[in-house]
Structures are given as structure tokens and as C-alpha cells.
């Protein structure tokens, strides 16, 4: 080790003599050399006067480490003006592996500190490497060595590492005792479904949960999945459950420990209760690691991650170990999935029992509250709240044990069944309800195909990785054949060349991007209001597949993902022939199966009232058939001259490479650019004319504007997000609305400060104008009596925004 002078010495110093020769042994705190330094001191001259005098003081420099001197880097008489290397000391032990504050190799205490200590010895080994132990730490060098060994071994056996999450990824667990009762009860409608459920009891799992029984449902096909995947991957468990929990699960899914060995990391060792960190397992590099997890946020959407759809067998239970995690964003998503399944089911049994379907729906709706409840209990991720959260988790579990959400749900369902049976036929109500209940055993249903797809994906990644590796290697080998020595080297490490290992982090995103590349989508009714559309879980997930998320519909939009029917955006989208209106399920299924699925089965049935807008061809089917050509034309003609808009897109963080964060500066930039863009548009006409045009057009395209306004309103407060009212009452409503708006102008401006805000009305108008020029459908609108109001309001709004961008920025800052 090279000993360096600390910066705290009184430089310049002059070396006066070296006390040790190369080969001498030194101990810690033993003097190495003498030096003198000069400083000014205050001295008394014996007469009461104080004088500043320059003095030289001799001092010793002491070694901070044990060892043997190898070489001096300084000589007698040297004047040193700053920190330099002084001497090389060969340490008998570099303390690279430490265990509980001791060096594991020499047994010295690493935590001792003296006056001479600059860096604690314990910092020499900062990395935790063992899965199941936090007291063992290693140095970077040692970690690299161990990891390289592992990599060599994996490459030789042509495998990668796979980090597997437990809860809701490969299993689903609950503590609801109802499950136990149902399991025993042969007559229970859920008996069949519960056959494969395993259970275990954790005795000492924290106070309050003594002897809690855990019920574990394995994801369908898990055994085969693990067997097959283990041939391609070395498996690791990384869970947010406790150690005991993880061990028990491992006993269930891998009783012989052939698959996982003891590569199990639980939250006891994770070091963080809110996030998972790949560096904890693979401190040096993660080139060969793939993760599967049902939550992307805990991994901070690591590029190594394959997100799987959560496995939700015990409906409404969620993840029992996620109380510590930040609130799950995509509640809607999971519920949608459940609901969709239910709805499919409903269609299947549609003939038989309408009531049953309704019941299922009711159950699904009930999920929302249960899940939300669970989730809100989780709360934020403030470390200071951890204790509270531990209690919260306890509570959650107690809650589950006491409340038995499953039982409640089943009861509810039965009640509904009863009711419906009574209503239709009062005679054999009991029988029928039982029958219905039997049909209904899909409260707990089990047709999850995720693992089969997952296996396929993992195989693809594995293949891609080793293709790349082989390519690189054969390339390198070809170069080496030229030199004999090179050939020898290759013989030495036959199969393995660590430098050539490609990076999963490059391969997988490339893979994924190609899946939905070129898709520009808009969400409608998918995310709760006020969510950042760019940073929501589902958006991030979609983005990792190359999707561009935009907040409003324009000519570039290719898909509208609608969570429910009849939103304003759906209505607007019908006017664009190239926009496919699909259900959330399409997106989820595409993301899950890594394929750009055919949209046809997922098309959202658009309500006839919502269509009819002249921009779109009469029916959606027609739009489908003409889609290819028209979209090509539209995008070609519309976007050739739209550099400004294009740039606006980029700067507003809408392309997939940029960081989703959207700060004030960017917003301001967007705003400026937008203005510029609009300005250039208006250049041909005089200002007044431009405004006149605008108001004129505003009145003409009243109805068209309606759609975009609806969008805006949806963002402000969803007062009219669901415009399900019949056409007739619309007019009066609109009048009312316009009044409201002109009085609450300030408020509206504030609201437009949200993500889509700055580009709000301007962007719409620009788009609308464009749309107007391509397909001329501007005429033929009936004049509405409230047109003037609306136009006036528009003008005011525009003027307000032009005058006062400052206020808007403030508003934006407030909003997000």
C-alpha cells in the first residue's frame, strides 16, 4: 500500500531523516521519518511584550498501517509542499474480507480508531456480498474476483443470472384464514381452486402475528417454469418478505434447493425496505443479470428488469409484503385486468346467468376498495416512518386475518346470487344459488398464463445474449489466430472471455423497444386524475417498450388506450381515422407478451353518440379498413412542415430516451417554442386578422373544440369526464359551463398549467387548424346561440395566457 501524506500537515515540510530502511517492519503508529515545519508563534520576551516569531519545529510522521517497507518515495532533505506518496508498505493483510467488524483473514479489529486514523479500516471492505448475511463485507477487489469467478462459471455453462421476486410474481400469498376453511370444506365453491394452495405457519414473525398461517398459491406452471429456466439461468430469490417467509416459500417451490440453493435475499438483508437494489447481489457489474418482478418502481425501472403482470389469485389481497413500499400507482391497471378477466368470464357464461356476471363485477369493484385500503396503509416511503409502517403491516395482516376479505366477498356474491335467484324464481332459490355459487368459484380463478409467456421471453433473451457473445467471441478468435501467442491464451480460458461479455442492459431494451416502437399513445380514463402521465407506472412500463406517451390526441397519435368508454378523448379520437381506440387490456397484453398484438380484438366499442363527428369516416370499421393508407398520408403531409411541433415534442420529454421528469425550465422552453411556432403560423396575416380568424373558427368548430375542452376539463376536475348525457341536454349544459368558465377564468388557467397545460388551447387550435386544412369539414355546423360566449371566452383565455406566462409558470410549479 502506498502511504500518502494527509492534507492536514503544515506544508511545506522538510524531511530531515528517514527512520526505516526498505525491508524493515513497521507497526501502526510507529515513526517513519522526521521532518521540520515552519510556523509563526506568539512568544513572550520576558518583559510582558508578545511578539510573533517564525520558528521551525521538528516532528515525526507516523505510519497508519502495519507492514514492511518496500520503497521510499522521498529522500532526506526533500521539501514537500503538498500531499504526496511517501512510502510503499507491504501489508501482510489488506483486510479485504471483513466479518462483523473483524478482518476475516487476520482477525484484527477493523473498527478501532486512533488519533492517527484517517480512513477506518472497515471502509476497505464496504460491499455486502452474501445473500443471507449482512455482517460479511468485502472489498471491491474481492467482490470483483468473486464475481468474475461466477461469471466464468456461468459462461462456461452458458447460463445467465435471474433474480426472481416472490410475491405476485411466482406465487400469491395471503393470511386470510378463510382460505384454510375453504380448503377443508369440500362443499365450498372455491374448494377446487384451492387444491393447489400450500400453507405454512410462521411462529416468530414479529409480535402480533404469532402463529399466523400463510396460504401460498403457486402460479400455474411454476414447477416446469423453474425447471426449464434453471437450465438457462442461475436463480436468485429477492423478496421483500422476511427471511423466515422467504425460506418457507423456498421450501415449497424448491424443496431440494436444487434451483435456488441458498441464494435467497430477504428484506432482513436487503438494507432497504422500499427499494430493491441489484448492486446488493451483483456489486460490480450486472451485465449478465435479468430480473423478473411484478413491480418496476422498486427496481427504479432498471434496464435488467422484465416486468411481469402481477399474479392475483386471492382476489383483493394484493401483496402482503408490500406495506413498506410506496403506494402502487397502477391500481386501476390491476383491477382492470381482474375486471377484464371477469368480463371475459361473463361473456362465457352470459347466457346462463346475467346475475352472476354482475356479481363478479361487484366483486371486482369491491377489490378496488380492499386493495386501496391495503395500499394506503402502506403509505409513503419515509424512513422515519418505518416503524409506523412495520406496525401498519402488522395491522394489515391482522386486518386481513380478522376481516377476511375473501369471505366477505364470497358472502356478498352469494347474497347477490340469492337475490337474483329470488327475484327470478322464488321456488328453488337455494339450489340455484348453490349452483350459481358453484359456477362462481371463479372468485378464486386460476387461468394465468403469464409464466409460459415469461419462459418464452427469458429464452429469447438468453438466446440473444449468447448469440451476441458468440459473435463477439468468434470475431475475437479470428483476430487472434494470426498470432500464436494469442491462440495459446484462448486455449487457456477456453470458453470464457470476460471482456467480450455483452451487456443485458443493452440487449434487452433493444429487444423491447422494437416491440411497440413507433406507437404514440394517449391514455384516457386509465390513470387517476392528477397523475403524471409520463411517470405513472404503466407509462414507464410502456415507455421501456418504445412507446411514446402523449397527453393529447393529435395527428401523430396512433393509439388511444381507453380505460372506460365514452370519455371525451374517445370521442375526439374517433375523428382521427388513424387512431386506434383500444382497451387497456391491449396494452397490458402487448407488454406482457412482448408483441405488438393485433388491435382488432381489443377495439373499444365506441358508442354511436360519440362518433358521428364528421372528421372520421362514418364507422370505425371503415376507419380500420382505410387506416393504412390514410394514416400514411396524414402523417406524411402533416408532419413534413412541422419542425417546431416536432421539437416541442422532444423538449417536452415525450420521446422515449429523455428523462420523464418535466421541470419548470422545460416547461418554459416548451412554452416559448410554442409561441414561436404559433407566431410563425400567424405571420402571413395581421394580428387582428389572426384573432378574428381564430374566433371565427372557434365559433365554427364549436363542436370540434368541444372534444378538446372536454379533455381539459377532465384534467381539471372531471366534472364532465363522463359525458353520458343524452345529446338533448348538452346544449344547456354547455351554456352553463361556458358561464362557469368565463367567471372562473383564473381557475382554468391554473388548471391548464398541468403537463398538457402550456400547450393547452394553442396546441389544440394548431392541431385543429391542421386537421381542418387536410380534411375540410369546417362548414356545415349549425350556429349555436352560445357561440359568442364561447368565442369570447377563448379569446380571453388566449390573451390571458399570452400576457401572463409568468403566472402560468407559477401555476405549473404549483401543480407539479
Partner 1 sequence: MFFLKEETKIISLHPSYFGPNMRDYLVTRLNEEEEGRCTGDHFVICVMDMVDIGEGRVIPSSGNAEYTIKYRAIIWKPFRGETVDAVVTSVKPTGIFTLAGPLSVFIARKNIPGDIKWEPNTVPPQYTDHADQVIEKGTSLRLKILGVKPDVAAINAIGTIKEDYLG
Task: Note the residues at the interface with partner 1 (CB under 8 A).
Answer: 97, 99-109, 111, 129-130, 132-133, 135-136, 138, 142, 146, 149-150, 153, 157, 256-258, 261-262
Max CA-CA distance within the chain? 122
Neighbours of 431 (CB within 10 A): 11
3-class secondary structure for 15-48? Answer: EEEECCCCCCEECCCCEEEEEEEEEEEEEECCCC
| 520-524 and 559-562 strand pairing | parallel
Q: What is the strand order of the sheet 67-72 is part of?
A: 2-4, 85-90, 67-72, 25-26
Q: CB 138 → partner 1: shortest distance, Å?
A: 6
Q: What are phi and psi of 181, to 5 degrees?
A: -65, -45
Omega before 12 cis (within 30°)? yes
Residue among 167, 293, 414, 764 flagged as catalytic: 167
Angle at 70 between CA 64 and CA 72, to 5 degrees: 80
* Active-site residue, 418 included: no
Closer residue to partner 1, CB minimum distance, 153 or 300: 153
Q: Smallest distance from the beta carbon of 258 to partner 1, in angstroms?
A: 5
Alpha-carbon distances, residue 617 vs 578, 674, 778 (angstroms): 11, 31, 15
404 torsion bin: left (phi>0), alpha (psi -120 to 50), beta (else): left
Nearest CB to partner 1, comparing residues 107 and 785: 107
Helices and strands (H and E) in the chain: how many: 27, 24
CB of 23 to partner 1, least distance (A): 24
- Measured CA to CA, the distance from residue 106 to residue 111 in angstroms comes to 14
Least Å distance between CB 236 and partner 1? 13
CA distances (Å), origin 406, targets 371, 432, 761, 781: 12, 22, 48, 54
Least distance in angstroms from the C-beta of 477 to partner 1: 26
Residue 136: which of 165, 154, 110 has the closest Cα? Answer: 110
Closer CB to partner 1, 111 or 733, in the complex:
111
Give the closest residue to 126 by CA, choosing from 112, 116, 115, 136: 136
C-beta separation of 146 from 153 below 8 A: no
Q: Catalytic residue, from 121, 165, 417, 610: name it.
A: 165
The whole-angstrom separation of Cα 315 and Cα 405 is 9
Listed in sequence order, the DSSP H helices in 122-176 are 140-156
Closer of 261 and 772 to partner 1 (Cβ): 261
DSSP string, 473-520: HHHHHHHHHTSHHHHHHHHHTTT--GGG---HHHHHHHHHHHHHTT-E
- Active site annotation includes 78: no
Nearer to partner 1, 257 or 746 (CB): 257
Q: What interhelical angle do 354-378 and 429-439 show, nearest 10?
A: 60
Q: Closest CB to partner 1 among 146 and 401?
A: 146
Contacts of 709 (CB under 8 A, 6+ apart): 568
CB of 145 to partner 1, least distance (A): 9
Compute how many other C-beta atoms are within 10 angstroms of the C-beta atom of residue 222. 17
CA distance 214 to 207: 16
Q: Are strands 102-103 and 127-128 parallel, antiparallel or unpaired?
A: unpaired
Give Cβ neighbours of residue 391 (< 8 Å, ≥ 6 apart).
Answer: none
Closest approach of partner 1 to the CB of residue 111, in Å: 8
Rounded to an integer, what distance in angstroms lies between the CA atom of residue 552 and that of residue 705? 13
Question: Whole-number minimum distance, CB 283 to partner 1, in Å?
Answer: 12
Neighbours of 456 (CB within 10 A): 12
Residue carrying the nine cell digits 352470459: 350
Catalytic residue numbers read: 165, 167
Amino acid at each position: 500500500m502506498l502511504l500518502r501524506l494527509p492534507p492536514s500537515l503544515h506544508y511545506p515540510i522538510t524531511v530531515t531523516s528517514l527512520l526505516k530502511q526498505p525491508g524493515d517492519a513497521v507497526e501502526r503508529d510507529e515513526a517513519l521519518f522526521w521532518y521540520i515545519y515552519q510556523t509563526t508563534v506568539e512568544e513572550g520576551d520576558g518583559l510582558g511584550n508578545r511578539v510573533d516569531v517564525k520558528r521551525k519545529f521538528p516532528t515525526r510522521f507516523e505510519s497508519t498501517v502495519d507492514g514492511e517497507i518496500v520503497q521510499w518515495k522521498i529522500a532526506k532533505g526533500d521539501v514537500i509542499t503538498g500531499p504526496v506518496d511517501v512510502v510503499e508498505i507491504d501489508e501482510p493483510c489488506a483486510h479485504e474480507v471483513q466479518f462483523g467488524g473483524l478482518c476475516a483473514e487476520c482477525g484484527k479489529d477493523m473498527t478501532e480508531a486512533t488519533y492517527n486514523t484517517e480512513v477506518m479500516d472497515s471502509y476497505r471492505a464496504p460491499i455486502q456480498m452474501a445473500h443471507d448475511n449482512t455482517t460479511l463485507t468485502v472489498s471491491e477487489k474481492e467482490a470483483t474476483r468473486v464475481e468474475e469467478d461466477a461469471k466464468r462459471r456461468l459462461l462456461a455453462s452458458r447460463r445467465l443470472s435471474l433474480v426472481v421476486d416472490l410475491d405476485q410474481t411466482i406465487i400469491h400469498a395471503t393470511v386470510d384464514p378463510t382460505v384454510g376453511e375453504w380448503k377443508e370444506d369440500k362443499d365450498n365453491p372455491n374448494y377446487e381452486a384451492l387444491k393447489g394452495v400450500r400453507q405454512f405457519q410462521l411462529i416468530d414473525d414479529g409480535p402480533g402475528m404469532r402463529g399466523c398461517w400463510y396460504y401460498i398459491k403457486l402460479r400455474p406452471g411454476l414447477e416446469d417454469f423453474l425447471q426449464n429456466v434453471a437450465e438457462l439461468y442461475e436463480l436468485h430469490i429477492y423478496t421483500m418478505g422476511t427471511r423466515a417467509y422467504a425460506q418457507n416459500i423456498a421450501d415449497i417451490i424448491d424443496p431440494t434447493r436444487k434451483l435456488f440453493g441458498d441464494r435467497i435475499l430477504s428484506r432482513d438483508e436487503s438494507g432497504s425496505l422500499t427499494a430493491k437494489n441489484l448492486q446488493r447481489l451483483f456489486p460490480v457489474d450486472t451485465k449478465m443479470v435479468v430480473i423478473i418482478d411484478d413491480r418496476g418502481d422498486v427496481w427504479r425501472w432498471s434496464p435488467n428488469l422484465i416486468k411481469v403482470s402481477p399474479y392475483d389469485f386471492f382476489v383483493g389481497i394484493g401483496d402482503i409484503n408490500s406495506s413498506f413500499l410506496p403506494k402502487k400507482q397502477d391500481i386501476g391497471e390491476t383491477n382492470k385486468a381482474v375486471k377484464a378477466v371477469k368480463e371475459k368470464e361473463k361473456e362465457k357464461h352470459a347466457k346462463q346467468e346475467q346475475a352472476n356476471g354482475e356479481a363478479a363485477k361487484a366483486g371486482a369493484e369491491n377489490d378496488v376498495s380492499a386493495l386501496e385500503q391495503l395500499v394506503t396503509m402502506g403509505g409513503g416511503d419515509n424512513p422515519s416512518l418505518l416503524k409506523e409502517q412495520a406496525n401498519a403491516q402488522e395491522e394489515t395482516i391482522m386486518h386481513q386475518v380478522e376481516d377476511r376479505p375473501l369471505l366477505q366477498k364470497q358472502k356478498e356474491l352469494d347474497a347477490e346470487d340469492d337475490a337474483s335467484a329470488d327475484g327470478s324464481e322464488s321456488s328453488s332459490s337455494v339450489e340455484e344459488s348453490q349452483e350459481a355459487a358453484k359456477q362462481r368459484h371463479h372468485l378464486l380463478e386460476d387461468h394465468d398464463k403469464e409464466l409460459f409467456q415469461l419462459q418464452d421471453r427469458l429464452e429469447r433473451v438468453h438466446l440473444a445474449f449468447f448469440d451476441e457473445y458468440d459473435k463477439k467471441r468468434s470475431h475475437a478468435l479470428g483476430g487472434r489466430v494470426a498470432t500464436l501467442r494469442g491462440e495459446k491464451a484462448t486455449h487457456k480460458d477456453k470458453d470464457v472471455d470476460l471482456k467480450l461479455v455483452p451487456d443485458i442492459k443493452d440487449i434487452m431494451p433493444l429487444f423491447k423497444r422494437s416491440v411497440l416502437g413507433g406507437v404514440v399513445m394517449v391514455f384516457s380514463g386509465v390513470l387517476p386524475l392528477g397523475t403524471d402521465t409520463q411517470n405513472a407506472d404503466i407509462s414507464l412500463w410502456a415507455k421501456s417498450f418504445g412507446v411514446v406517451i402523449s397527453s393529447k390526441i393529435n395527428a401523430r397519435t396512433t393509439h388511444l388506450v381507453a380505460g372506460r368508454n365514452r370519455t371525451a378523448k374517445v370521442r375526439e379520437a374517433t375523428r382521427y381515422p388513424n387512431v386506434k381506440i383500444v382497451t387497456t387490456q391491449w396494452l397490458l397484453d402487448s407488454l406482457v407478451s412482448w408483441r405488438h398484438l393485433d388491435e382488432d380484438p381489443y377495439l373499444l366499442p365506441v358508442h354511436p353518440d360519440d362518433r358521428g363527428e364528421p372528421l372520421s369516416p362514418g364507422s370505425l370499421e371503415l376507419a380500420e379498413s382505410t387506416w393504412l393508407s390514410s394514416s400514411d398520408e396524414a402523417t406524411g403531409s402533416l408532419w413534413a412542415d412541422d419542425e417546431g411541433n416536432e421539437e416541442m415534442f422532444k423538449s417536452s420529454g415525450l420521446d422515449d430516451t429523455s428523462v420523464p421528469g418535466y421541470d419548470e425550465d422545460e416547461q418554459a422552453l416548451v412554452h416559448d417554442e410554442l409561441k414561436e411556432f404559433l407566431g410563425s403560423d400567424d405571420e402571413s396575416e395581421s394580428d387582428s386578422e389572426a384573432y378574428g380568424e381564430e374566433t371565427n373558427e372557434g365559433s365554427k368548430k364549436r363542436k370540434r373544440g368541444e372534444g378538446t375542452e372536454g379533455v381539459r376539463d377532465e384534467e381539471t376536475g372531471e366534472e364532465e369526464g363522463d359525458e353520458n348525457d343524452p345529446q338533448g341536454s348538452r346544449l344547456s349544459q354547455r351554456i352553463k359551463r361556458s358561464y362557469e368558465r368565463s367567471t372562473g377564468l383564473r381557475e382554468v388557467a391554473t388548471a391548464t398549467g398541468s403537463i398538457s397545460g402550456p400547450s393547452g388551447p394553442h396546441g389544440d387550435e394548431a392541431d385543429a387548424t391542421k386537421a381542418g386544412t387536410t380534411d375540410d369539414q369546417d362548414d356545415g355546423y349549425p350556429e349555436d346561440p352560445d357561440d359568442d360566449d364561447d368565442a369570447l371566452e377563448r379569446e380571453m383565455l388566449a390573451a390571458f395566457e399570452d400576457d401572463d406566462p409568468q403566472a402560468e409558470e407559477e401555476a405549473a410549479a404549483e401543480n407539479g
